[in-house]
Amino acid sequence: MKIQLITIGNELLNGKIQDRNAYWLARFCHEHDLDLIKNDIIPDNEYAFMKAFKGAWQDADLVVTSGGLGPTKDDLTKGMLARFFDKNLVESKQALEVTKKNYAKSKREYNPELQYSKIPEGFTAVYNKAGYAPGLFYQENRKMAAALPGVPVEFKTMFMEEILKKLKESFPKSSHIKKHVIVKTWRAPEAKIFNSLCPGLWEDLERFGEVSSLPNPLGVDIGVSITASDQPELEMREQSVRDAVLNSALKDFIWHIGKESLEEVIVKKALEKNMTLGFAESCTGGLCASRITDIPGSSRVFAGSVVAYSNRVKEKILNVNASTLEKYGAVSSETAWEMAQGARSVLEADLVVTTTGVAGPGGGSAEKPVGTVGVGYSSQRDCAGNLHHFPEMDREDLKRIFSQIALITLLEQVELY
């Protein structure tokens, strides 16, 4: 079942907003054994639509469009679809019923001037549980097209509750099952892993399925797509992938095998160990805490964070010695260490990780250039501070990398706890 998504809207190409439907659909398709083969992001104009739709209609079993179904001047999708399929716009009883149902749920009245009941001949209207404009659906032999609104909650709900049903009717279940096994590593760059550390690993893993490698500034995610005819076979294959990497030199560089994010793994393991976590953050400015609190249920393990941006707050709340700040500077392993000690005490957490660094663009020095970060941790078991250097890059990226190394430090310490 090949799906192609066409995302429509000038606001996505001039940077006013970031599209979220493609990422959601990608995850949804992956979980439901559907194959998202392409996503086109195009502006609100007919030339772009016709070209993209033509290409998609050739390659995909289902073409989904997102956006352009509302009541304003720049909502062009319905007319363009009618012209693509050479259909007239006609009054549809079914579309009127769906539209009235869309409005009835919140006791608002449908204004017929919006012409939601006029749709291309041969199309059906799709109920919109979360909004007012109906979607559109069309089938021609084994090919299907669905036009959905761009508002994420509407797009998501309609795809899950309406379109998926139609797909299941047309496409019987595949006889094999799939799983994507992800081996998450850090501290070794991609070229080192596959060239010197484990030169035969890629070929080794290819015996179990398609291999992919996704580098990030601190490590590499290695993926293997395995297929099997039943669950026991799938599990056996997954175990073989695990054995292959855990028996290789990569072993010491793996922090997780699975699709969970670093934040999810931390929260899950801390829950298992019944421990509480905290941060004291200078250069990451709350980003570490924000990432952990993105995870539902994090409140059961997360005590809090002291975002100590000024030295005064470092001294006052975290009890960092003025002499330490003066002698070693705010960006130092010594300060990171003292912040950790102070934060663990004031947050009453079992484990605390701290960051203090130079995210730039100003504030760097010859000794502590932009990209320098001190990371500390403190638990009843152990306490330390380390200084790391990253190449100079922009502030947001450095904050992200600084938070990444803090979270990896946190995970290591949770595991050792």
Subset of residues 21 to 80 that bind its own copies, contact rule: CB under 8 A: 22-23, 26-31, 36-44, 48, 51-52, 55, 59, 70-74
Q: Is 396 in the site for its own copies (CB under 8 A)?
A: yes
Phi, psi of 140 (to 5 degrees): -135, 110
Q: In Å, what is the CA distance from 84 to each residue of 54, 57, 120, 166?
A: 8, 10, 10, 22
Smaller CB separation from its own copies, 283 or 408: 283
Part of the chain binding its own copies (CB under 8 A), chosen from 87-95, 207-215, 320-328, 332-340: 207-215
Q: Among 112, 200, 258, 361, which residue sits at the site for its own copies (rule: CB under 8 A)? A: 361
Decide: 311 and 324 in contact? Cβ < 8 Å: no
Q: Is 393 in the site for its own copies (CB under 8 A)?
A: yes
Smaller CB separation from its own copies, 73 or 169: 73
Part of the chain binding its own copies (CB under 8 A), chosen from 92-100, 138-146, 161-169, 389-397: 389-397
Nearest residue to 386 (alpha-carbon basis) of 405, 404, 370: 405
Smaller CB separation from its own copies, 82 or 398: 398
Residues numbered 227-256 forming contacts with its own copies, rule: CB under 8 A: none
Binding mask 281-300 for its own copies (x = CB under 8 A): x-xxxxxxxx-xxx-xxxx-
Residues numbered 133-152 forming contacts with its own copies, rule: CB under 8 A: 151-152
Q: Among 61, 83, 101, 217, which residue sits at the site for its own copies (rule: CB under 8 A)? A: 217
Q: Among 82, 95, 306, 339, which residue sits at the site for its own copies (rule: CB under 8 A)? A: 306
Q: Is 416 in the site for its own copies (CB under 8 A)?
A: no
Decide: 393 and 251 in contact? Cβ < 8 Å: no
Q: Among 135, 219, 329, 360, which residue sits at the site for its own copies (rule: CB under 8 A)? A: 360
Smaller CB separation from its own copies, 49 or 138: 49
Q: Among 123, 137, 186, 194, which residue sits at the site for its own copies (rule: CB under 8 A)? A: 194
Q: Is 274 in the site for its own copies (CB under 8 A)?
A: no
Q: In Å, what is the CA distance from 301 to each residue of 289, 332, 413?
A: 12, 28, 14
Smaller CB separation from its own copies, 121 or 210: 210
Q: Is 369 in the site for its own copies (CB under 8 A)?
A: no
Q: Using CA atoms, how far apart are residues 331 and 320, in angstroms rounded to an integer?
A: 12
Query: Least CB distance from residue 79 to its own copies, whole Å?
Result: 17
Query: Least CB distance from residue 122 to its own copies, whole Å?
Result: 26
Look at strands 2-8 and 35-42 and give their pairing: parallel
Q: Among 21, 117, 157, 379, which residue sits at the site for its own copies (rule: CB under 8 A)? A: 157
Q: Using CA atoms, how far apart are residues 163 and 144, in angstroms rounded to an integer?
A: 10
Part of the chain binding its own copies (CB under 8 A), chosen from 20-28, 139-147, 237-245, 247-255: 20-28
Residues in the chain: 417
Classify residue 6 as exposed, middle or buried by CB count within 10 Å of its CB (0-12, 13-18, 19+). Answer: buried
Q: Is 347 in the site for its own copies (CB under 8 A)?
A: yes
DSSP string, 348-387: T-SEEEEEEE--SSS---SSS-TTEEEEEEEESS-EEEEE
Nearest residue to 407 (alpha-carbon basis) of 223, 261, 202: 261
Which region, left, alpha or beta, applies to residue 49 given φ > 0 means left and ψ of -120 to 50 means alpha?
Answer: alpha
Decide: 282 and 403 in contact? Cβ < 8 Å: no
Smaller CB separation from its own copies, 241 or 308: 308
Q: Is 354 in the site for its own copies (CB under 8 A)?
A: no
Q: Among 87, 129, 179, 273, which residue sits at the site for its own copies (rule: CB under 8 A)? A: 129
Element (H, E) at 242: helix 231-246
